[in-house]
């Protein structure tokens, strides 16, 4: 049943891509509606700024639509879009000329993908505090480590999908993710005052 569902989704995606290639504006709109939030969240977590993330999101879709004829369907459309977005984010970071990156904290939990039930004011305050600590820890990480954490933990991509986005092997992804998680854990512990 799962395999059949995956095949149906792939056929639907292939049809959507074919319609985009034919210039169908409704198909472009469907792609944007389906992946806009994921692309924005990815850019936001890499760059840390709402305005920059929104600019990168728009540029990602513009580049994707201009290059739709080069999409070979070797990966999912989502993976392809995130690869474009990641490249644009890395270019943006390079253009900052080592400017200190500061994360804004204006995104609501639902924009970040945190849609847990409301548990009361204390739980909400604790979750907000922990989210702030994690975001601050992510901010201090090197961009490559931050990116792999975002792809796996926030975007929920598989090792294979991350490898396709970053253009490296699955084994390399596993090792880099292990190191990035360890670094994030150490940073969070330090910020919480629980470091050994």
How many Cβ atoms are within 10 Å of 76's Cβ, its own excluded?
16
18-63: per-residue pLDDT in tens? 999 998 899 999 999 999 999 999 999 998 889 999 999 999 999 9
> What average pLDDT does range 66-78 have in this prediction?
88
Closest C-alpha among 49, 39, 126 to residue 84: 39
CB 63 within 8 A of CB 88: yes
Distance (Å, whole) CA 48 – CA 12 = 33
Where in the sequence is the domain holding 175, given as residue range(s)? 2-192
Q: Specify the CATH number for the domain of residue 53.
A: 1.10.1740.10
* Total of domains in the chain: 1
Distance (Å, whole) CA 63 – CA 83 = 11
pLDDT at 191: 87
pLDDT at 100: 47
Question: What mean pLDDT is reported for the chain?
Answer: 82
CA distances from 196 to 132, 137, 184, 189 (A): 21, 17, 15, 8
pLDDT band (50, 70, 90) for residue 108:
very low
Q: What angle do CA 49, 102, 174 make, to 5 degrees?
A: 80
- Please state the separation of Cα 92 from the chain's center in Å: 15
Name the pTM for this structure: 0.70
Q: Is the pLDDT of residue 13 over 70?
A: yes
137-193: per-residue pLDDT in tens? 888 889 889 999 999 988 889 999 999 999 899 999 999 999 999 999 999 888 888
């Amino acid at each position: 049943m799962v395999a059949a569902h995956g095949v149906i989704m792939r056929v639907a995606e292939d049809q959507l891509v074919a319609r985009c290639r034919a210039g169908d504006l409704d198909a472009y709109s469907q792609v944007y509606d389906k992946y806009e939030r994921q692309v924005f969240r990815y850019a936001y977590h890499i760059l840390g700024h709402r305005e920059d993330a929104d600019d990168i999101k728009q540029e990602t879709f513009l580049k994707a639509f201009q290059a739709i004829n080069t999409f070979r369907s070797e990966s999912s459309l989502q993976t392809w879009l995130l690869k474009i977005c990641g490249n644009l984010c890395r270019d943006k970071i390079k253009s900052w000329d080592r400017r200190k990156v500061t994360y804004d904290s204006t995104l609501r939990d639902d924009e970040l993908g945190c849609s847990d039930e409301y548990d009361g004011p204390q739980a909400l305050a604790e979750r907000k505090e922990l989210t702030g600590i994690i975001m601050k820890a992510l901010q201090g990480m090197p961009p490559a480590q931050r990116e792999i954490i975002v792809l796996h933990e926030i975007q929920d991509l598989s090792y294979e999908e991350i490898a396709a986005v970053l253009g490296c092997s699955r084994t390399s992804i596993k090792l880099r993710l292990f190191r990035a998680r360890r670094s994030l854990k150490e940073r969070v512990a330090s910020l919480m005052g629980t470091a050994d």
